[in-house]
Structure 1
Amino acid sequence: MKTYLRLLSFAKPIEKYAIPYVLCILVTVIFSTLNIALLAPLLTTLFETGGGDTYEKPENWLDVLGYFNYYAQQASIKYGPIGALERVLVIIVGSVFVSNLFRYASQRIMENLRIHTLLNLRRTVFNNVMNLHVGYFNNQRKGDIISKIASDVQVVQFSVTATLQVVFKEPLQLVFYLITLFLISFKLTIFAILVIPVSAFIISLIVRRLKAQATEAQQVYGKMISYLDEALSGIKIIKAFNATSYVKDQFHNENVYYSKLGKRMARRQQLSSPVSELLGVLMVAIIVLYGGRLVLTDDASFDSATFVAYIAMFSQVMRPAKAITDSFSNIHSGIAAGERVLELIDEKPAIEDAPDAMEIKAFNKSIRFNDVCFSYPDRQILSNINIEIPKGKTVALVGPSGGGKSTLMDLVPRFLEVQSGSILFDDVDIRDITSGSLRSLMGTVNQESILFNDTIFNNIAFGANGATQEQVEAAAKIANAHNFILETDNGYQTNIGDRGIKLSGGQRQRICIARAVLRNPPILLLDEATSALDTESEKLVQDALNKLMHSRTTLVIAHRLSTIQSADTIVVLDNGRVVEQGNHNELIAKSGLYKRLVDMQQFEEA
């Protein structure tokens, strides 16, 4: 119930929809009940106007059917049988028209509520995912996150709003039916309503395990989406290694298991409906037997027209009762999906701005690492790092793979958080600076070219709202990208496909550099920006990087050591520690790890 109420909170302001919905449902229920109650005067008009029972005007205003029968008979006397029949039918048609008109209005209101809830829920979960720290995504399946945002949210909003509709309408309809039945025959109704708790108890036994199965089904679906995402992203590798059959089998196994879970859930859900219907028919048969005896023995409290109206109305009682029991079986899948969605919403960023964090507008002095340490749960990554990056200087990080270079760079924009020690930005701890203002002063170019399925213009202008064509072209020229862009089909309006697949590696990287140029940041973070390129592309990209780095503060990780020989300071990392530090000539003279790395690379390139 707690989960359901939390999910329902995303429908706020719910009163905007609930009040008109309840009013429409109230009118619908009243006239739906009236439609069935009018069967009694219709039958009276058809079969008893020529000499049947004489109806006295009831003294008790609660005797609804008595009033109907009395006025139907009076109409027959005044207008004749045909005239009375015409008037009764007009009233019935009018009642049905009103009930259906307001039923349609209530459905429109509920649909608006459903869409409103979906909008709020999906926006909340996506916004929270975007606010999570970068490290969170290293430990999560992307497909599972996509499944929660897309599929689970859809299940939640349909399940919650459908249940909400049942909660508002069906109990109200059930109450009106029962009140009318009690007014017709108190004794018979007491006997009749025993089917409702019996049916509910039996249905609860059937659907008891639905929630656990629904939760497992959502998890398996998330794994399937992960496999699909990985298969589409790595299609070249899959085919290159002849692993198509393996990937197919992997997806098929999860698909088969998901299908089996679906069959088990459907079996339980679908069993509840026929069971409740069977129980209802059984009770109607018993009531027909009991009530029929009253009619056939000429019981004064029951005539045939009243009995037929009673049976018709009691048969309708099972519809809202059945809808309520069905909703209890369906809500389990919604609650299971809802718990997965709420789990994502409740996930808190491990890195948050301090309440009194300050905003910065400029970079004036230096970035300094003081005894910085960082570790993952299973291993230490950085130990007692002391580095200074002065304004306007280039500092390069080199060392064997796994030495902690990328982790150290990720600490600067607070993608990861220092666990001990501190990073000072112009003598201010970066934990006392808002992340947004800190990152606004930095431009990043990674080894992997992160581009979006959009036009070249929009990829370069990404994050720079209001960028003009002239500004984008100027950035592209600095990045050595302008010429090849003009050669594409639509120039700057050319769509580059998923992750820039329509461009070569060097072209993608130059688009990323142009994006950094347009931002015009005082600080650059370059993470092996040329390592994945061929020699010709590397020269173009390196030339673009040199233009970008001019008069800027740069922290660079280099794969090819020849590209960073002109760096002001080269920091050599090994097993998470700074083992050497100095310029190229100084480090060569020390004949330490840096010189060995240079010699090895020169030997490989020879």
Structure 2
Amino acid sequence: MIEFLKILTLVKGYYKHAALNVFFNVLGMLFSAFSIILLIPIMEILFNQDGKVQKILENKPVTDFFSDGYSLKEHGFYFLAEQIQLNGSAVVLMYVCIMVVLFTFLKNASIYFALYFIAVIRNGVIKDYRNTMYSQILNLQLSFFSEEKKGDIISKMTNDLKEVEWSILKSIEATFRDPLNIVIYFVILIWMSPELTLFLAVFFPIAGVMIGFIAKRLRGNATKGQSKLGDLIAFLEESISGLRIIKGFSVEEKSIRRFDQLNKEYNRLMIKMYRKADLASPMSEFLGITLIAAVLWYGGLLAIDGNIDGSFFIAYIAFLSQLISPFKAITKAYSNAQKGLSAINRIKDITEAEVLIFDQPDAKNIKSLNSDISFSNVSFKYEKDWVLNDVSLELKKGQTIALVGQSGSGKTTLADLLPRFYEPQKGQVKIDDVPINELSLKSLRSLLGIVTQESILFNDTIFNNIAFSVDNASKEDVENAAKIANAHDFIMSFENGYDSIVGDGGGKLSGGQKQRIAIARAVLKNPDVLILDEATSALDTEAEKLVQQALHRLMKNRTSLVIAHRLSTIQHADCILVMNKGEIVERGTHQELIEKDGVYNRLIQMQSFS
């Protein structure tokens, strides 16, 4: 139950609401108890008088009203006997019935206000938990996501979090209310008959063991079910992303069979889980009725022997029956909590994942690039094999350096080290002779503008996509950035212009249009350093020409690190670095590398031939 208590600590921001919830729950329990206690005078005096009223009046209580429980009972009977003598049984019966209605109304009003305040806690805690998860996702290093399925992460963020809300946080009400309910009623039962209550207490451990056994089995099934749901959502996400491939290769039926298989496995696990969960409530009710039957038998013997008044015994049974509901609720809450705890364990894969890239306590802020960027003897590996091996380079302010090489040579990985998407295992990356791990991430990345081959656009307006990294960007600034990126004309051809929605991932735009909007986004940010990762390799000739024009404007008088497959796009770079198997094998200008007749020249010839 450590995890359960841990999530309850999130309530710390809602102490006021928790206190009000407890207060109104206590009021509700007291009003409920008063309405049941009224059964005693009804049965004792109104329906079994036989001279009892006169007998009570002749024995006026001599003790104080609150001296003990027995005196309280005596004073209550004496007061009602007086009222019957003065006003008659019918009038007293009417008053008692009105009081029952009043107490019932007050009880339900109190319960409503308790629920009113618990709603703030229940939804607020989930809101805070969701924010914590999202913040953690954005703070985690990219390597974390290469090891996790995107669909499974989404499942943890949505379905598992919803399971926590329904299975645990909806049980907070039971956690706050029902133990109070049980304590209040149990104290009343002890007051009414200590002997009968002691007999009752013998059965509690037996019920607890049986319920605990079911809950333990339930948690295991819940963990498997949530994991399988993550696989199902991951497969669905991949299918939607790869719909063109599925249709193009005519493998719809194969994909449907695979989805059906995953769906059946999830369905089978959930059926087993629900069957166990559904067993908890009827079992608790059965145990409760069995308990009442045992008390009826034992209490009946006490009543026959004159050890307990008949009216008290009936009221005792009424109070005991009120215990069934909270015990049933706690049982259901405990069994449901097991599903929530398994969801928490999956969520912890995100919330407790180690953040490897973070700001040092004394991290420095950097406002601009003044001199150069250097990579000194940098080596990096994702797992076992080195992807970069002892790489060194210097990029001076205002220079353009191009990285070329075959796929898998380490170009993109090298560029990813500059914004600290990854940390090198050996060597250092420095800006103005300061190691970048000594700079704050925010200030470091504020220097950089990144344009990639696969332009990342958000399902929002064109305006908001361009102004993504600039708060309060003006319309004029956004339009100027779009003009520099050769995007203004096609944007204005849309019916809604800059207010046009680009669709999921920019799906309503062509590749060239998406690329130019991404360039406009970088233009508006006006970064000191540009990272252009294969920014034109996926475009046709016409689109590439427009994008190249935009890039030339963007790169003018700006420090740039360019990765390209089309070598014709980087011939004017100040320096070209040729990479092979994680190492720089050649470096120089385009003309110098041609004259060397090495790897770069062979790459040029291969592209010319193709």
Give the number of equivalent residue pairs: 602
**For 1:215, which of 210, 223, 228 is the aligned residue?**
223
User: Residue 451 of structure 1 corresponds to which residue in structure 2?
Assistant: 457
**Secondary structure, counterpart of 1:566 in structure 2:** coil
**For 1:492, which of 492, 498, 504 is the aligned residue?**
498
Distance in 2 of aligned mates of 1:539 and 1:336: 54
Distance in 1 of aligned mates of 2:434 and 2:306: 94
Distance in 2 of aligned mates of 1:147 and 1:194: 44
CA-CA distance at 1:57 after TM superposition: 5.3
Change in CA separation of 1:479 and 1:353 when aligned onto 2, cut-off 3 Å: same
CA-CA distance at 1:342 after TM superposition: 2.8
User: Residue 169 of structure 2 corresponds to which residue in structure 1?
Assistant: 161
1:309 equivalenced with 2:324 (yes/no): no
CA-CA distance at 1:294 after TM superposition: 4.0
**For 1:231, which of 239, 251, 254 is the aligned residue?**
239
User: Residue 7 of structure 1 corresponds to which residue in structure 2?
Assistant: 7
Contact 2:168–2:333 (Cα < 8 Å) also in 1: no
**Mapping for residues 227-266 of structure 1, pairs under 5 Å:** 227-266=235-274
User: Residue 112 of structure 1 corresponds to which residue in structure 2?
Assistant: 120
1:527 equivalenced with 2:537 (yes/no): no
Contact 2:403–2:411 (Cα < 8 Å) also in 1: yes
User: Residue 179 of structure 2 corresponds to which residue in structure 1?
Assistant: 171
User: Residue 396 of structure 2 corresponds to which residue in structure 1?
Assistant: 390
Code of the residue aligned with 1:412 in structure 2: it is: L
1:508 equivalenced with 2:514 (yes/no): yes
Distance in 2 of aligned mates of 1:211 and 1:168: 23
**Secondary structure, counterpart of 2:216 in structure 1:** coil
Moved more, 383-392 or 317-326: 317-326
Q: Deviations over 1:184-208 (max 9, x none)?
A: 2222222123232221111112222
User: Residue 524 of structure 2 corresponds to which residue in structure 1?
Assistant: 518
CA-CA distance at 1:22 after TM superposition: 1.7
Contact 1:72–1:88 (Cα < 8 Å) also in 2: no
CA-CA distance at 1:287 after TM superposition: 2.2
**Mapping for residues 62-73 of structure 1, pairs under 5 Å:** 62-63=69-70, 65-73=73-81
**For 1:280, which of 281, 288, 291 is the aligned residue?**
288
Q: Deviations over 1:282-306 (max 9, x none)?
A: 22223223333444x3x44433322
Q: Deviations over 1:71-130 (max 9, x none)?
A: 333322221111111111111111111111111111111111111211211111111111
**For 1:539, which of 534, 542, 545 is the aligned residue?**
545
Moved more, 479-488 or 329-338: 329-338
User: Residue 591 of structure 2 corresponds to which residue in structure 1?
Assistant: 585
Distance in 2 of aligned mates of 1:65 and 1:585: 108
**Mapping for residues 312-323 of structure 1, pairs under 5 Å:** 312-323=318-329
**Secondary structure, counterpart of 1:521 in structure 2:** coil
User: Residue 427 of structure 2 corresponds to which residue in structure 1?
Assistant: 421
**For 2:379, which of 362, 373, 378 is the aligned residue?**
373
User: Residue 346 of structure 1 corresponds to which residue in structure 2?
Assistant: 352
**For 1:402, which of 404, 408, 411 is the aligned residue?**
408
Q: Deviations over 1:445-489 (max 9, x none)?
A: 001010000000000000100110000000000111000000012
Contact 1:217–1:258 (Cα < 8 Å) also in 2: yes
Distance in 1 of aligned mates of 2:169 and 2:408: 51
Contact 1:45–1:84 (Cα < 8 Å) also in 2: no
**Secondary structure, counterpart of 1:118 in structure 2:** helix
Distance in 1 of aligned mates of 2:421 and 2:299: 76
Code of the residue aligned with 2:540 in structure 1: it is: D
**For 1:442, which of 443, 448, 455 is the aligned residue?**
448
Distance in 1 of aligned mates of 2:133 and 2:563: 35
Query: Percent same amino acid among aligned pairs?
Result: 43
Contact 1:522–1:553 (Cα < 8 Å) also in 2: yes
Distance in 1 of aligned mates of 2:239 and 2:82: 78
Contact 1:455–1:495 (Cα < 8 Å) also in 2: yes
1:596 equivalenced with 2:602 (yes/no): yes
Contact 2:410–2:581 (Cα < 8 Å) also in 1: yes
Code of the residue aligned with 2:69 in structure 1: it is: L
Code of the residue aligned with 1:19 in structure 2: it is: A
**Secondary structure, counterpart of 1:524 in structure 2:** strand
User: Residue 483 of structure 1 corresponds to which residue in structure 2?
Assistant: 489
User: Residue 16 of structure 1 corresponds to which residue in structure 2?
Assistant: 16
Code of the residue aligned with 1:17 in structure 2: it is: H
CA-CA distance at 1:528 after TM superposition: 0.6
Contact 1:8–1:160 (Cα < 8 Å) also in 2: no
User: Residue 36 of structure 2 corresponds to which residue in structure 1?
Assistant: 36
Change in CA separation of 1:285 and 1:65 when aligned onto 2, cut-off 3 Å: farther
Distance in 2 of aligned mates of 1:286 and 1:139: 58
**For 1:576, which of 572, 575, 582 is the aligned residue?**
582
Code of the residue aligned with 1:332 in structure 2: it is: Q
Distance in 2 of aligned mates of 1:237 and 1:42: 79
Code of the residue aligned with 1:451 in structure 2: it is: L
**Secondary structure, counterpart of 2:364 in structure 1:** coil
1:145 equivalenced with 2:164 (yes/no): no
CA-CA distance at 1:167 after TM superposition: 2.4
Distance in 2 of aligned mates of 1:223 and 1:323: 33
CA-CA distance at 1:325 after TM superposition: 2.1
Code of the residue aligned with 1:547 in structure 2: it is: R
Change in CA separation of 1:37 and 1:137 when aligned onto 2, cut-off 3 Å: same
Code of the residue aligned with 2:105 in structure 1: it is: F
Code of the residue aligned with 2:20 in structure 1: it is: P
Distance in 2 of aligned mates of 1:62 and 1:163: 34
Contact 1:460–1:512 (Cα < 8 Å) also in 2: yes
Moved more, 397-406 or 145-154: 145-154
User: Residue 101 of structure 1 corresponds to which residue in structure 2?
Assistant: 109
**For 2:568, which of 552, 556, 562 is the aligned residue?**
562
1:90 equivalenced with 2:91 (yes/no): no
CA-CA distance at 1:394 after TM superposition: 1.1
5+ unaligned residues in a row in structure 2: which ranges?
Answer: none
Distance in 1 of aligned mates of 2:144 and 2:360: 19
Distance in 2 of aligned mates of 1:529 and 1:496: 19
Code of the residue aligned with 1:278 in structure 2: it is: F
Moved more, 350-359 or 460-469: 350-359
TM-score by length of 2: 0.95
**For 1:182, which of 186, 190, 198 is the aligned residue?**
190
CA-CA distance at 1:439 after TM superposition: 1.2
Distance in 2 of aligned mates of 1:601 and 1:87: 100
Contact 1:114–1:158 (Cα < 8 Å) also in 2: no
**Secondary structure, counterpart of 1:20 in structure 2:** helix
Distance in 1 of aligned mates of 2:360 and 2:297: 75
Code of the residue aligned with 1:13 in structure 2: it is: G
Distance in 2 of aligned mates of 1:587 and 1:164: 70
